[in-house]
Structure 1
Amino acid sequence: MAAREGTRRRTVSLLAAVWAAGALTGCQTIADAASTSGCEGTESRVDDLKSYGVLDSRPQGTIEPGGFEGLDAGCWEDSGEAQLYAERTYVFPGDKADVTQHYRAAAEREGWKPSPATRRSSKADRPTNLCFTRDEAENSAMLDVYFLTKEILDAEETRTGPEFDSGVGYRVAVTSSADGSTTSCSD
């Protein structure tokens, strides 16, 4: 699991964004998802997260912006809580509604279950951050699709290229607690 430059900062910001987005989308991890063993020995579970097809799914015309190429994955640990993640960052030249429509369909095809907030936003047919869950044999995962704001990118101390000026920047992230405990989207 080779770390790219800025991975730790992006991961910290990712988790901060996921938790902040939780207030807006109804997605959040359960507080007791802390791992007693931390990141040690989680490589195969990170590989499991990387294998979800939704991470490679994207609307036609979407690009990977400079500095964000490829899949970023690993384990992040802070204050005894360890979280596994696999994420991709994209820029789409259209609007947010096309992105949310694409990922609702892609997540459904892969068996992800939408949060109540994601289901409500679907009925309203409006673009929004999305949150889905998936529970498999003692392993729970959460899928977030969220739009990148200037505040998120600034917190990551990320320098963005001109691609971000040409469309909508967003991130697709699959996360799980390192100990396999339940991760969920809530109302």
Structure 2
Amino acid sequence: MPLSPRPARSLAPPVTLLLATALMTAGLTGCSTLSPFHTCDDTAARLKGLRSQSILTTVPEGATAPKGLDDVDSRCVDDTGDAWLYAARVYAFPGSRQKVVDFYRTTAEADGWQVQHDPLDQDTPDTTAGLCFTRGGDGKALLLTVQFTSAEDLKFEHDYDAGPEFDSGAGFEVEVEVGSETDGAKTGCFD
């Protein structure tokens, strides 16, 4: 006597449960599984706009661009799934970090940039953490960072041997970077 066929079991409940779990996990971790995965296609005009931001060439008196790093470095990076555009300059400054922080706070804020503070790390001074600003609305949103790094970081990140401006120990690198999403969507410093 032949066995009776087993009734087909619907895959809908397990698949629905798996999808719901994945979406809930992504929401709880702050990640989005529904990322648009933008690419660097057709971003030349937006990159040109980033390169022309005046804040990239506005520096405290005495700041210099190290030889070989005296141009704006701009590019679109899409190796993480979502493309990011940036334009950056590197400067050496013989003064204190506090002078750099004060200069960019005053200059950037006068140009419409709004400083942002890390809500999870409000005790770290700006002279250590650097500064982050935002400007513009959706479609034109920009992010500005001013960061301090060492001669060792210059070697690692740019394969650059720091010159005499770093010999005294008083010199350091200031990296001014303007970045944006490929479509200019709003982004925060600590999102």
TM-score, reference length from structure 1: 0.71
Cα deviation, residue 102, structure 1: 0.6
SS of structure 2 residue aligned to 1:131: strand
Partner of 1:168: 172
After superposition, give the CA deviation of every residue in 1:108-150 in whole Å (9 maximum; x if it has no partner): 01101110349x68xx986240000112342221100000135
Report how far residue 89 of structure 1 moved.
0.1
Query: Does 1:127 pair with 2:127?
Result: yes
Relative contact order higher in (CA < 8 Å, ≥ 6 apart): 1
Alignment coverage as a number of residue pairs: 155
What residue ranges of structure 1 are gaps of 5+ in the alignment?
Answer: 1-29
Instruction: Work out which of the two has the higher radius of gyration on C-alpha atoms and give 1 or 2.
Output: 2
Give 2:60's aligned residue. 59
Query: Distance in 1 between the 2:42 and 2:68 partners?
Result: 28
Change (3 A) 1:183 1:54: same
Q: Structure 2: how far apart are the matches of 1:41 and 1:34?
A: 19
Aligned residue identity for 1:111: G
Matched residue, 2:185? 181
User: What amino acid is the match of 1:127?
Assistant: T
Displacement of 1:51: 2.1
Quote how far apart the aligned CAs of 1:31 are. 5.7
After superposition, the Cα gap between the structure-2 partners of 1:47 and 1:34, relative to the gap in structure 1 and judged at 3 Å, is farther
Deviation at 1:165, TM superposition (A): 2.7
Partner of 2:91, secondary structure, is strand
Q: Give the C-alpha shift of residue 182 in structure 1.
A: 2.2
Q: How far, CA to CA, are the matches of 2:158 and 2:54 in structure 1?
A: 28
Structure 2 equivalent of residue 76 of structure 1: 77
Q: Give the TM-score, by structure 2 length.
A: 0.70
Amino acid corresponding to residue 96 of structure 1 in structure 2? R
- Extract structure 1 runs of 4+ deviating beyond 4 A: 30-35
Superposed CA RMSD in Å reads 2.8
Give 1:47 deviation, angstroms.
1.3
Question: What is the match of residue 105 of structure 1?
Answer: 106
Equivalent in the alignment of 1:116: 117
| 2:127 partner amino acid | P
Whether the 8 Å CA contact 1:130–1:146 is kept in 2: the answer is: yes
Higher deviation after alignment, 94-103 or 176-185: 176-185
Choose between structure 1 and 2: higher strand proportion: 1
